[in-house]
């Protein structure tokens, strides 16, 4: 037994030494909004692009370790951003975001980790379309898919020239990157703080490395089989918003039936798409585009789960019906940059997480009934190389890791019932549902940070409840002294 323990200890030291050779760091100091200086290590760790390929290239994973002054620190918090495809290390150099991490540093270190292929190395898997956009791109799903297929063919040539191994861009590889960094930084246990896709990644880390997890906080939960959305969930969200607006005396005089207005607008722009002029996100030059039902539904798909944009949606539909396209133009200007490129790691990771046969069958059935059939799930190209992590990956996680789930009642992207489904396998968990919060608003609730800190400290949070005030809709005509949205121009 003694010889086995000595062997395991030596093996552990060897592994840590191996990863230590792959890590590079420099010391830095960041300043928060209140002027607090935070010591940090800014670094990268080299990992295989595809661990299943012995000749795989090495790629850097960027991180920033914010140092705690606690003499007896708790396990560090590893922050896992949404996406897939989002970086988070920029938060250290953004004073307002760094300010939010200060209370957590009183407990222990905070490690901001960029997902593979993001941050300073985004260009490795990113392809930018340099040609003119098709004018009818936002008219129909067929036109959009044709453009995406053309981009995909060009992107694959570029990524092949860069020697990118797309088979390595999966959430499992992302999770192994986190563990490589944990070992290189010589942490035995870590706590996870995941948002949106970061919850998907966090669960994956718990599934494959759960012995190294102390606690987890999951905000806006996406389970292993939730990457591909159920179409009718968006229809239900529209009907929920309609119930709110139909009962709002400032709205229902002009819009007694929001769903009816949506159907009317869709029929109108299907018959005659709207021509708009916007500035190219690539060159800044003016371009003209046509917007049909597909374009409007794409905008709704992005914004219908964000409580900061929901208040202006009735006015958006009303203005289109009245022949005023200024709000539609604002939203299209904001969102059209998405069609200028392909983030190879993002679409590959989503495709790799995949969907079970039973859920796929349900999605196909719901597609026949949904208003939003063609915009719910990510586009794919039949020529795109897609690793499938399989049913073993998508199987539920059963664990006793203490976990705090937080969800918003207006979050279409990661609705509360997804957290409840995931939570079924968690024997030691809490779920706080924040009333009237959308996808982005949960973590900013005034009580959220204090509650998360209490949970990480081991304090009782059983009686905690959170709620935002009911939605106040932007008037569909004129202005309001109290209500404003950026699409309306300067405040």
CATH class, range 2-119+166-227+399-457: alpha beta
| 134-to-128, 129, 287, 291, 466 alpha-carbon distances in Å | 15, 12, 10, 12, 46
CA distance 116 to 170: 9
CA distance 483 to 248: 14
334, 263 contact by CB (below 8 A): no
Q: Cα torsion at 449, 453, 458, 459 (round to 10°)?
A: -60
For residue 19, the model assigns a pLDDT of 54
Q: How far is Cα of residue 81 from the mean position of the Cα atoms in its chain? A: 7
Nearest-CA neighbor of 121 among 196, 57, 32, 29?
Answer: 57
> How is residue 29 written in tokens?
């100091």
For residue 337, the model assigns a pLDDT of 87
Q: What is the pLDDT along the chain (491 residues), one digit of tens a residue?
A: 444 444 434 434 444 455 555 899 999 999 999 999 999 999 999 999 999 999 999 999 999 999 999 999 999 999 999 999 989 999 999 999 999 999 999 999 999 999 999 988 778 999 999 988 899 999 999 999 999 999 999 999 999 999 999 999 999 999 999 999 999 999 999 999 999 999 999 999 999 999 999 999 999 999 999 999 999 999 999 999 999 999 999 899 999 999 999 999 999 999 999 999 999 988 999 999 999 999 999 999 999 999 999 999 999 999 999 999 999 999 999 998 888 889 999 999 999 999 999 999 999 999 999 999 989 987 777 788 889 999 999 999 999 999 999 999 999 999 999 999 999 999 999 999 999 999 999 999 999 999 999 999 999 999 999 999 999 999 999 888 888 889 988 66
Nearest-CA neighbor of 384 among 358, 356, 346, 357?
Answer: 346
Q: What is the pTM of this model?
A: 0.94
478, 322 contact by CB (below 8 A): no
- 3-state SS class at 90: helix
CA distance 293 to 304: 15
Domain ranges of the chain: 2-119+166-227+399-457, 127-161+228-387
Nearest-CA neighbor of 386 among 119, 90, 116, 166?
Answer: 166
């Amino acid at each position: 037994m003694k010889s086995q323990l000595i062997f395991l200890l030596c093996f552990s030291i060897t592994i840590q030494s191996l990863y230590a050779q792959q890590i590079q760091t420099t010391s830095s100091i960041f300043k928060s909004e209140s002027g607090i200086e935070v010591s940090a290590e800014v670094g990268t760790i080299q990992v295989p692009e595809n661990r299943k390929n012995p000749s795989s290239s090495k790629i850097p994973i960027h991180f920033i370790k914010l140092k705690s002054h606690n003499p007896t620190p708790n396990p560090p918090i590893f922050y896992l951003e949404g996406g897939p495809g989002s970086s988070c290390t920029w938060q250290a150099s953004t004073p307002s975001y760094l300010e939010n991490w200060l209370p957590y540093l009183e407990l222990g270190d905070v490690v901001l980790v960029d997902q593979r292929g993001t941050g300073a190395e985004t260009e490795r898997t990113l392809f930018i379309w340099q040609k003119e956009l098709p004018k009818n791109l936002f008219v129909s799903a067929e036109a959009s898919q044709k453009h995406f297929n053309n981009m995909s063919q060009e992107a694959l040539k570029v990524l092949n020239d860069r020697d990118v191994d797309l088979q390595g861009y999966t959430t499992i590889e992302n999770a192994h990157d986190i563990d490589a960094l944990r070992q290189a930084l010589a942490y035995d246990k870590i706590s996870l703080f995941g948002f949106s896709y970061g919850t998907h990644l966090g669960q994956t880390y718990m599934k494959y490395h759960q012995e190294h997890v102390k606690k987890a906080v999951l905000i806006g939960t996406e389970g292993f089989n939730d990457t591909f959305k159920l179409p009718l969930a968006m229809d239900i969200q529209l009907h929920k918003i309609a119930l709110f607006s139909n009962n709002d005396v400032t709205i229902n005089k002009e819009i007694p039936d929001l769903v009816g207005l949506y159907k009317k607008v869709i029929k109108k722009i299907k018959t005659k798409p709207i021509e708009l002029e916007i500035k190219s996100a690539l060159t800044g030059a003016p371009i003209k585009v046509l917007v049909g039902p597909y374009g409007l539904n794409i905008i709704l798909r992005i914004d219908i789960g964000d409580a900061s944009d929901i208040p202006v949606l009735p006015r958006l539909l009303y203005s289109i019906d009245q022949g005023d396209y200024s709000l539609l133009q604002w939203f299209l200007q904001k969102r059209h940059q998405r069609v200028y490129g392909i983030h190879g790691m993002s679409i590959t990771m989503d495709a790799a997480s995949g969907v079970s046969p039973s859920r796929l069958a349900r999605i196909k059935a719901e597609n026949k009934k949904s208003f939003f059939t063609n915009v719910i799930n990510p586009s794919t190209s039949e020529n795109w190389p897609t690793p499938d992590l399989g049913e073993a990956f998508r199987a539920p996680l059963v664990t006793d890791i203490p976990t705090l789930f937080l969800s918003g009642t207006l979050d279409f992207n990661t609705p509360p019932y997804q957290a409840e489904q995931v939570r079924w396998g968690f024997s030691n968990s809490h779920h706080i549902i924040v009333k009237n919060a959308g996808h982005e608003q949960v973590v900013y609730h005034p009580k959220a940070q204090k509650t998360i800190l209490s949970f990480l400290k081991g304090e009782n949070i059983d009686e905690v409840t959170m709620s935002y005030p009911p939605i106040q809709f932007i008037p569909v005509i004129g202005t309001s002294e109290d209500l404003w949205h950026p699409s309306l121009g300067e405040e």
